[in-house]
Amino acid sequence: GAVVSQHPSWVICKSGTSVKIECRSLDFQATTMFWYRQFPKQSLMLMATSNEGSKATYEQGVEKDKFLINHASLTLSTLTVTSAHPEDSSFYICSAPGQVIYEQYFGPGTRLTVT
């Protein structure tokens, strides 16, 4: 099956710094990718839809200036958490629809800890 990777798998950063998370589709092209955030013991909440070659679509309540998304190629989307604060500490997961309708493949997730 299709594989989606994320890098890094975990990152610790200081408050006020920025962190970039990469999401790659390894063996298929993805014009759309999704970014989710998952706090401990909670569900996956969709943050934004990343569209190759165009602006991302953000869900209500998600600050687009804080969570910068770039989808510069058909296999790579990046999420940059700018001026990170401890409340941004979470598990960030990306996903991409596969070639077969309804399929969606999840990355392994990135654990962000802001100190």
Partner 1 sequence: GENVEQHPSTLSVQEGDSAVIKCTYSDSASNYFPWYKQELGKRPQLIIDIRSNVGEKKDQRIAVTLNKTAKHFSLHITETQPEDSAVYFCASQGGGSNYKLTFGKGTLLTVNP
Residues contacting 16, CB < 8 A, separation 6+: 83, 84, 85
The reply on whether position 97 binds partner 1 by CB under 8 A is yes
- How many residues line the site for partner 1 (CB under 8 A)? 19
Whichever of 32 and 89 has its CB closer to partner 1, that residue is: 32
Beta bridge partners of 80: 20, 68
Build a one-symbol-per-residue string for 38-77: x at contacts with partner 1 by CB under 8 A, - elsewhere.
----xxxxx--x----------------------------
Beta bridge partners of 77: 23
Q: Which of 81, 84, 109, 112 binds partner 1 (CB under 8 A)?
A: 109
CB of 16 to partner 1, least distance (A): 26
Two structure tokens written together for 86: 């401890």
The reply on whether position 32 binds partner 1 by CB under 8 A is yes
Q: Which of 47, 77, 78, 107 binds partner 1 (CB under 8 A)?
A: 107
The reply on whether position 11 binds partner 1 by CB under 8 A is no
Two structure tokens written together for 46: 């969709």
Cα distance between residue 42 and residue 58, in whole Å: 20
Cα distance between residue 39 and residue 25, in whole Å: 24
φ and ψ at 88, to 5 degrees?
Answer: -85, -5
Give the residues lining the site for partner 1 (CB under 8 A). Answer: 32, 34, 42-46, 49, 91, 93, 95, 97, 102, 104, 106-109, 111
